[in-house]
Amino acid sequence: MSADNALLAAGAGVVLCGAAAFVLGPLLMRRIPEPVLEDGDTKTPYAVLAGHGVATKAAYWCGATAAVAGGLLGWVLGTSPGLPAWWVLAVAGAVLGYIDARTRYLPSAIIWPTYLLVGLALVAATLWTGELGPLRRAAMAGVIGFGVFYLLWSVFKRGVGFGDVRLSGLLSMALGWLGWGEFVLGLYGGFFLGAVIGIVLTAAKVFQRKQMFPFGPFMLVGALAGVLAGPWLESVYLG
């Protein structure tokens, strides 16, 4: 990949992802349905995040986050056929991360459609390249990631929410398409990052022990780190 291609893809990622998240973030927050809460649980309504006086903040936060992620992804992946799938994730991830940080919930109304869009983008990439290996690996990684987080959720329901389980399969699928190094570093690096910071914040009494921790943003940061550093990890392991 030439430097010109990387620079062009990075610039396109900044513009496209930033603009899409800026517009879609508040729009989705106003429209997605509220989850059914268990007795005693409370949350900030999604629509409040994009209500009068804070919509601009949500739009700029989502737009800036997606622009940074889209630019980094473009710089690393360049002309890779899998780049559109990751740009979709950059936009959806910026919105999901903002919502989770503010409400401690990851809305399935955003996650499930993103599965479809990312899946279609990966299928299109496979048709473009004619290679079935990455798509097969993506499916395997998605099942493995979802299964591991489902097990964690079943054991530590106050540490891992089911929204995190849904998100794990989505991120694993996209990471797996790139390679096993990206998958391992991206998914489990995000898990350990969130666990360590969660322990620190709990010890500092920022969060209560029985309070749900917003794990999604760390999973998303971990996935981005997997794309950036996954090839290096795989080369070290294989070399």
Statement to judge: residues 149 and 62 lie in one domain: no
- Can you tell me the distance from the alpha carbon of 91 to that of 42, in angstroms, rounded to the nearest whole number? 27
- Whether the predicted model's global pTM rises above the 0.85 cut: yes
Statement to judge: residues 136 and 76 lie in one domain: no
Statement to judge: residues 224 and 147 lie in one domain: yes
Statement to judge: residues 149 and 98 lie in one domain: no
What does the pLDDT look like over 79-95, one tens digit per residue? Answer: 899 999 999 999 999 99
Q: What number of H helices and E strands is found in the chain?
A: 10, 0
* Beta-carbon count within 10 A of 159 CB: 15
203 part of a folded domain:
yes
Measuring CA to CA, which residue among 183, 167, 196 is closest to residue 225? 183
The number of folded domains in the chain is 2
120 part of a folded domain:
no
| Structural domain span for residue 1 | 1-113
Statement to judge: residues 1 and 66 lie in one domain: yes
- Residue that finishes a domain, picked among 63, 78, 113: 113
- Can you tell me the distance from the alpha carbon of 94 to that of 72, in angstroms, rounded to the nearest whole number? 14
What does the pLDDT look like over 163-221, one tens digit per residue? Answer: 999 999 999 999 999 999 899 889 887 777 766 666 565 555 555 555 566 788 989 99
| Half-sphere exposure at residue 233, Cβ-oriented, CA atoms within 13 angstroms | 17
